Structure 1
Amino acid sequence: MISLLDYGAGNVRSLRNAIHALGFSVTEIERPEDILKAERLIFPGVGAFGAAMERLHRLGYVEPLREYLAAGRPYLGICIGLQTLFEGSEESPGVAGLGLIPGQVRRFDDSELAVPHMGWNDVRVERDSPLFADYAGEKLYFVHSYRAEQTAENADWVLASTDYGCPFISAVQRGQVGAVQFHPEKSGAAGLRLLRRFLAGDAVSATPARRGAAAAPTHLARRIIACLDVRANDAGDLVVTKGDQYDVRESGAVRNLGKPVELAARYYEEGADEVTFLNITGFRDFPLADQPMLEVLERASERVFVPLTIGGGIRAFTDGEGTHYSALDVADRYFRAGADKVSIGSEAVHIVEQVLARGGEGDGSSAIEQIAEVYGNQAVVVSIDPRRIYVERPEDTRHHTVETAEPGPDGERYCWFQCTVKGGREGRDIDAVELARVCERLGAGEILLNSIDRDGTGAGFDLELVGAVRSAVRIPVIASSGAGCVEHFAEVFERTGVEAALAAGVFHRREVPIEAVKGYLRERAIETRLR
């Protein structure tokens, strides 16, 4: 009997779907006594260390879980399921972990690295184990801000390690108890093979650590993300569309570029590293009433085993019956439907305006803070829609300016990037750099950086905009808007250092295949994940 310990945070639907896709069934841990009845136990999760341990204590799971682990019974921890095996974490000082493995979980040094460590990296297998018997060196998907350190006291637990600034533990195993920092259910075919090994009962032991083995470095890949703008057409069906400067109609009807689930599955097969759904209509009044979009996530997560992001309507609201829902309530539904991350757009602008009015510090009430507190920073993406505002001199505005190689209509040599709301239709008195910095302080884990000026043009990413924001924050940045050829992807990686690049229309119309993008990047010696 395979049992899933869902402690109540993060997307576990994808893991259930992966288990079912591999031909296995799974039962849910509903009571403390169910833990000791399990024949194989899986503990997945994302979010804060302290919140996870608090939830385990509240559910009465800690003592039976410790008893199960002490008996050496089959266990697979994923992400938080690995970190809670240690004694504690810098993320939650004073909160004790399960204490099975000696050592502490510490934050990555973000002085030179983007944190969270987010994306596809290799693992360096340091001992022979059936768990990695089918592993052929493929990249696996990581998303975390804290990492377990290898010490002399826990060296006999270490199964694999990964480099990100410094080496960290990416897999542990002793007997039948194992855990991984990456997400096998989000790691494509390679992750599914590893998961199958555990489900089939093959991962029963590991040999002693290899002595004198070459420690080949691992490398984080640049991500290529496919974006699907989803809305209802005139017949009420959800379709993927793409507009010219936000106009999605063609000959009077909504431009239809395909069905969202089928298109997402196609991109997964073609090697997309992530898939993003942006709901550009729907649920503007009552987000949780938009059942078709929830169904899109549920069905997509059955076929797409890479990360899924959903944007549109992630905010607090009151429904027609007077019931109030927080942004956290809304996000929870989307995580439960299959999303790994939520994207906050116009709402983030309003949040930052309120924060700046209070002096620049959060008070815990914003959607960004609430969601990050429970699900972790990596679950919150802030989507910024800026446009260029030209000025003759930097002194002419209080905003962050750049000296531009693209002068304004009257020859202006400087510009700032004004944030917009309502799909780019309304500008606000805040710039993209300021917004990104404040959102990072509030707990956002990633920036999706669009460009009103470049969207749909095929003229390439706005490198000046991307460079300004990338240099201003220490969290990962996704460049978006303007891609028209493979060279544009290499250009934005080489000249700005962003972690990911996103495109929509050129992928939908097959003008620029994902495989062609990755092939060109490899020719330019830019690290990518092979399909």
Structure 2
Amino acid sequence: MISLLDYGAGNVRSLRNAISKLGFELTDIRRPDDILNAEYLIFPGVGAFGAAMQRLNALGYTEPLQEYLAADRPFLGICIGLQSLFEGSEESPGIPGLGVIPGVVRRFSERRLAVPHMGWNGLRLQRDSALLSGLEQQRFYFVHSYHAEANAENARWVLAETDYGGAFVSAVQRGRVAAVQFHPEKSGQAGLEVLGRFLGGALDQPSLAAAAGPPTQVAAGSEDRRPSFGGKGGEQDGEQDGEQDGALPTQLTKRVIACLDVRSNDAGDLVVTKGDQYDVRESGGEVRNLGKPVELAQRYYEEGADEITFLNITAFRDFPLADQPMLEVLRRTSENVFVPLTIGGGIRAFTDADGHVYSALDVAGEYFRSGADKISIGSDAVETVETVRARGGGDGSSAIEEIARVYGNQAVVISVDPRRVYVPSPEATERTVIETAIPGPNGERYCWFQCTVKGGREGRDVDAVELARVCEQLGAGEILLNSIDRDGTGSGFDLELIEAVRSAVSIPVIASSGAGRPEHFSEVFERTGAEAALAAGIFHRREVPIAAVKAQLSADGIPVRD
């Protein structure tokens, strides 16, 4: 009996689909006794540490879960499922973890690193294990702001480390209890291999990790200690950590993302479209149709896309939770696509025809349950920044704050649609101005990047730099940075815009709009420090294959996932 401990947070649909894809059936934990009756238990923690632990406590799951672990029964924790095994987390001071592994989970603190640690990274195994052995050359998908570190007290647990600034614990195992910081259900074929090994009884096979004995609760003054694995951090993104024991350091790759703008055509069917400066209609008036969303997403997964983003550009006319076709796109896509899925469009509070109020959190929750890993907020973010500016700060009520509080910062992406506004001098506006190498129509040497709403049709007195900074403060975990000026031109990304925003925030930035050839991806990574780059039309029309982009990046020495 394989049991899933779904406590109600985040996207577990993809995990369910991955397990089904591997030929196994799941049962759900519905009451505390189900935990002790499980034969194999999976704990897919998604979201914030405190919210997860409080939910476990409220459901009465904490004590039976601790008993199950202490009995050395087959267990696989994922992400928060790993972090919960520790004594606590800096993310939620005062809220205890399960206390199985000594130590406190800490936030990434290296200033030059984007946080969350988001994307594809490798593993450096510290011991033999049937769960992970032979997968050292593979990349796995990570998305987290907090991490565990190996030390003398927990070293016997450490199965693998990964480098990001310094070494952090990316997998643990002792006996038949294991957990991973990465998301196997979002790590393509390599992740499915890990899940298949666990479900196939890998933790029952003899290995050095299994020989370490069953887990125990943290005990003060314990005599059984081993030296720490790995180092304490190097100066070059953790490179010295792996080199201390002769192993190569792991490296976070740059991400290549396929974006699908989805809307209803005039016949009412959902299609993938693409606009030129956001105009999605052909000369004859028909909505440009570049394919069906589920089929295209499957194609991009097979071609090596690191993530897939759906942007619903049909503007909800009534109530987003009634938009079943788009929810169905997510559900069907997640059945066969095992990389992260982002959904944008209509993530805001609504009141239905009967007067029932649904919060942005309610709407986001439905998308997560349908298969989304991240939600993208666009026009509503601009309005939020205007409100915060007038109020002098956030008050916890915005969609960004609500969703981040429950699902974690990494679940919230801000989609920005700016356009250039040229000015004769920096003093001509209160907005953030740059000196540009691309002069304006009257030779202006300065410009600012005005945020727009309603699909680029309406400008607001908010600039992209201000919006990114405020949204980061409110809890957003990533910026999707579009450019109305470059959209559909194929002339390359707006490097000045991307650099201005990237240098203003410490969260990852996705460059978007303007890619026309593989060299544009290398250019944006080399000159701006963006963590990811997104394209749509050139992929849809097969003008530039994803494989060609990755080959170019690799040839230019930029790390990518094969």
Q: TM-score, normalised by structure 1?
A: 0.98
Deviations 1:290-312 (A, max 9, x none): 00000000000001000000000
* Secondary structure, aligned partner of 2:489: coil
List alignment gaps of at least 5 residues for structure 2: 210-225, 231-243
User: CA separation in 2, counterparts of 1:392 and 1:239?
Assistant: 43
* Secondary structure, aligned partner of 1:433: helix
| RMSD, aligned CA | 1.2
Deviations 1:250-293 (A, max 9, x none): 12211110000000000000000000000000524311010000
Task: Choose the corresponding residue for 1:321, options 354, 366, 381.
Answer: 354
Residue type at the aligned position of 2:184: P
Are residue 416 (structure 1) and residue 448 (structure 2) matched? Answer: yes
Structure 1 window deviating more from structure 2 (280-289 vs 31-40): it is 280-289
User: CA separation in 2, counterparts of 1:411 and 1:438?
Assistant: 31
Residue type at the aligned position of 1:435: L
Are residue 306 (structure 1) and residue 357 (structure 2) matched? Answer: no
User: CA separation in 2, counterparts of 1:216 and 1:152?
Assistant: 22
**Which residue is equivalent to 1:390?**
422
Residue type at the aligned position of 2:482: N
1:135 Cα offset (Å): 1.4
Task: Choose the corresponding residue for 1:357, options 372, 390, 393.
Answer: 390
1:134 Cα offset (Å): 4.5
1:215 Cα offset (Å): 2.8
User: CA separation in 2, counterparts of 1:285 and 1:419?
Assistant: 25
Residue type at the aligned position of 2:7: Y
**Which residue is equivalent to 1:296?**
329
**Which residue is equivalent to 1:246?**
278
Q: Kindly indicate whether the alpha-carbon contact (under 8 Å) linking 2:304 and 2:547 is maintained by their aligned counterparts in 1.
A: yes
**Which residue is equivalent to 1:373?**
405
**Which residue is equivalent to 1:270?**
303
Residue type at the aligned position of 2:192: L
Deviations 1:335-359 (A, max 9, x none): 0000000000000000110001001
**Aligned 1:250-261 pairs, distance under 5 A:** 250=282, 251-261=284-294
**Which residue is equivalent to 2:215?**
none
1:321 Cα offset (Å): 1.4
**Which residue is equivalent to 2:141?**
141
**Which residue is equivalent to 2:364?**
331
Q: Kindly indicate whether the alpha-carbon contact (under 8 Å) linking 1:449 and 1:478 is maintained by their aligned counterparts in 2.
A: yes
* Secondary structure, aligned partner of 1:132: coil
List alignment gaps of at least 5 residues for structure 1: none
Residue type at the aligned position of 2:436: T
Number of residue pairs matched by the alignment? 529
Deviations 1:362-417 (A, max 9, x none): 10000000000000000000000000000111111111111111100000000000
* Secondary structure, aligned partner of 2:208: coil
Q: Kindly indicate whether the alpha-carbon contact (under 8 Å) linking 2:123 and 2:136 is maintained by their aligned counterparts in 1.
A: no
Residue type at the aligned position of 1:434: E
Q: Kindly indicate whether the alpha-carbon contact (under 8 Å) linking 2:539 and 2:545 is maintained by their aligned counterparts in 1.
A: yes
User: CA separation in 2, counterparts of 1:332 and 1:45?
Assistant: 15
**Which residue is equivalent to 1:283?**
316
User: CA separation in 1, counterparts of 2:133 and 2:148?
Assistant: 23
User: CA separation in 1, counterparts of 2:133 and 2:146?
Assistant: 27
**Aligned 1:89-108 pairs, distance under 5 A:** 89-108=89-108
Deviations 1:65-111 (A, max 9, x none): 00000000000000000000000000111111000000010000141
**Aligned 1:468-507 pairs, distance under 5 A:** 468-507=500-539
* Secondary structure, aligned partner of 1:131: coil
User: CA separation in 2, counterparts of 1:446 and 1:213?
Assistant: 34
Structure 1 window deviating more from structure 2 (129-138 vs 321-330): it is 129-138
**Aligned 1:103-182 pairs, distance under 5 A:** 103-182=103-182
**Which residue is equivalent to 1:453?**
485
1:213 Cα offset (Å): 4.7
1:235 Cα offset (Å): 1.3
Deviations 1:475-499 (A, max 9, x none): 0000000000001000000000000
**Which residue is equivalent to 2:237?**
none
Q: Kindly indicate whether the alpha-carbon contact (under 8 Å) linking 1:79 and 1:180 is maintained by their aligned counterparts in 2.
A: yes
Residue type at the aligned position of 1:320: A
Identity of aligned residues (%): 75
Residue type at the aligned position of 1:311: G
1:246 Cα offset (Å): 1.2
1:245 Cα offset (Å): 1.3
Change (3 A) 1:284 1:109: farther
**Which residue is equivalent to 1:62?**
62
Are residue 207 (structure 1) and residue 213 (structure 2) matched? Answer: no
* Secondary structure, aligned partner of 2:376: strand
Deviations 1:14-71 (A, max 9, x none): 0000000001101000011000010000000211111110000000000000000000
* Secondary structure, aligned partner of 1:88: strand
* Secondary structure, aligned partner of 1:424: coil
Q: Kindly indicate whether the alpha-carbon contact (under 8 Å) linking 1:445 and 1:475 is maintained by their aligned counterparts in 2.
A: yes
User: CA separation in 1, counterparts of 2:421 and 2:546?
Assistant: 33
Q: Kindly indicate whether the alpha-carbon contact (under 8 Å) linking 2:122 and 2:136 is maintained by their aligned counterparts in 1.
A: no
Q: Kindly indicate whether the alpha-carbon contact (under 8 Å) linking 1:282 and 1:290 is maintained by their aligned counterparts in 2.
A: no
* Secondary structure, aligned partner of 1:130: coil
Residue type at the aligned position of 2:322: A
**Which residue is equivalent to 1:226?**
258
Residue type at the aligned position of 2:320: P
* Secondary structure, aligned partner of 1:203: helix
1:463 Cα offset (Å): 0.3
